[in-house]
Structure 1
Amino acid sequence: MSVELDVFVGNTTIMDEEVYQFWLDGYTVSDAVKVRMEGGVLEECEASAEVLQSDTMDQYRTFQMCERLLHTPAKLANQLLFQIPPHRQAMLIERYYAFDSAFVREVLGKKLSKGTKKDLDDVSLKTGITLKSCRRQFDNFKRVFKVVEELKGPLVENIQTHFLLSDKLARDYAAIVFFANNRFETGKRKLQYLSFQDFAFCAGQLISNWTVGAVDNMVEDMDVDLDKEFLQDLKDLKILITDKDLLDQHKRGLINIAAKLTNTKDVRDLFIDLVEKFIEPCRSDRWTAADMKLFLIHYTNSAHILDTFKHQVTWDRYMGVIKSCILKMYHD
């Protein structure tokens, strides 16, 4: 009885970036081989279909064995099983933790729980992303969240330290962690025009200005939890809509939003409130982005000339973020 056995012996672990992407995207070995053949790799390498099948399968096995190390990226540099140059290690980690914008947009703001994971079949069908890839991306979000949610120090730096991600990807993960923790509503129909990068920008603004880390950079959950004292202080802004002398100079919308942010549900509805109570009315009046920017600048500055207004610091901290977020969100 004859047995055929493919054996490969070498030093540096061979990893084809294209095959790695097929594996990450959830392609089967057969599908990956088919795409490689259609790309002309047989002619390029002067290889047979059997060799290509064997090569693809071998690389898939290698990626599967590396996967447990990628769950804790710092271990990849210290292991002895695979001889992988540093630049290749960085590539493996960065691509493993990369995510599809269509996928993250579907789960952004949702609880990273088993319940949400059960819905990934529907997300896969809706986005066209394989279920295997959806699960990998979801598990990555959950893994990063669990590691950094209670660490002291800046969120982005903690993510980079523990997962060795690029600055851009670490900032995107910080936004995902922040939205998952605060459960911001992002799925309503009126918010569908907003991209993940729109929300990620807003998350960066909120983290830098409205979290406890904005005033104390060495507290637990510093960049994850909103500053409750600040949210409580926002109630003081109601004077701008209750004082008759001040009422004429300030529209109610943005101040009403501020005054309600002590309520958890209203915090979660922050973005839908900005769209419904401010962005949509301005859109219906056909304001340009330049009109919006000019208005928000003067609107913010108008409080500075009110002699009886005593809450300038709170006002500026609030409007600085609101202005930046609205300008980012004001598009088709």
Structure 2
Amino acid sequence: MPSRCCRWEPLTKRGLAALTGLLSRPCRDYAAIVFFANNRFETGKKKLQYLSFGDFAFCAELMIQNWTLGAVDSQVDDMDVDLDKEFLQDLKELKVLVADKDLLDLHKSLVCTALRGKLSVFSEMEANFKNLSRGLVNVAAKLIHNKDVRDLFVDLVEKFVEPCRSDHWPLNDVRLFLNQYSASAHSLEGFRHQALWDRYMGTLQGCLLRLYHD
């Protein structure tokens, strides 16, 4: 490990957010390892064996930059890469997107209208929209619990990657869907958690696109 990395406190949380901003890939990998160890993410399950260290490190970097205390409070020091508990607690508010039938139906309608003729798997997307949406939203709503934080990657593969893969979605269709799924929530009358939604989905989109491969 380059000495430039090792000058940070060894395997502590101090300064990891700064590490992810360095150009040195070894330093960024080091930050990812510490972040994963700190949050005890499950990476050893059989269904995750197709993923590389680079896949996990990419997602760790996104989460450090967007889901941690250090991402929103520049005054935070030692705890700067702890997941932001207030943010995780607030994520339960997103359940309205799937609990409210009218909102769920409208969200589906907006996404389907925008993507009709643009997806090779449009019929499959239309048929499975509600299950996919419930999966993504329920993952968010459960992240207040430590066990569900640990199982984040297992849940993302089970709830999104595997269903899309089984229907043979091309990666570009996954990208188009996630972009429209995220953007359409801003047009839902009565949905008042757009900033929270963007903070969640902005990171989740990047992770899902990285996880979506053979």
**Pairing of 1:268-307 with structure 2 (within 5 A):** 268-307=150-189
**Pairing of 1:68-83 with structure 2 (within 5 A):** none
**Deviation readout 1:269-297 (Å, 9 max, x if unpaired):** 00000001110000000000001000000
Moved over 3 A (4+): 143-146, 152-155
Equivalent in 308, 320, 332 of residue 190 of structure 2 = 308
Q: Please tell me whether residue 154 in structure 1 is matched to residue 5 in structure 2.
A: no
SS at match of 2:10: helix
**Deviation readout 1:51-108 (Å, 9 max, x if unpaired):** xxxxxxxxxxxxxxxxxxxxxxxxxxxxxxxxxxxxxxxxxx63x99xxxxxxxxxxx
Gaps of 5+ in 2: 109-132
User: CA, structure 1 residues 258+144, in 2 after alignment: closer, same or farther (shift >3 Å)?
Assistant: farther
Equivalent in 53, 61, 77 of residue 196 of structure 1 = 53
User: How far, CA to CA, are the matches of 2:98 and 2:32 in structure 1?
Assistant: 33
Contact persistence 1:155–1:174 (CA under 8 A):
no
- 1:216 corresponds to: 73
Of structures 1 and 2, the larger Rg is shown by 1
CA drift at 1:223: 3.9
What is the RMSD of the two structures over their aligned residues, measured on CA atoms? 2.4
Equivalent in 206, 210, 214 of residue 328 of structure 1 = 210
TM (norm. structure 1) is 0.53
One-letter amino acid of the structure 2 residue matched with residue 239 of structure 1 = V
**Pairing of 1:54-73 with structure 2 (within 5 A):** none
State the identity %: 61
SS at match of 1:169: helix
CA drift at 1:149: 1.8
User: CA, structure 1 residues 146+188, in 2 after alignment: closer, same or farther (shift >3 Å)?
Assistant: farther
**Deviation readout 1:173-195 (Å, 9 max, x if unpaired):** 00000000000000000000000
Gaps of 5+ in 1: 1-92, 98-139, 161-165
- 2:27 corresponds to: 170
User: How far, CA to CA, are the matches of 2:70 and 2:139 in structure 1?
Assistant: 23
Contact persistence 2:16–2:31 (CA under 8 A):
no
Contact persistence 1:154–1:217 (CA under 8 A):
no
User: How far, CA to CA, are the matches of 1:153 and 1:264 in structure 2?
Assistant: 21
CA drift at 1:221: 3.4
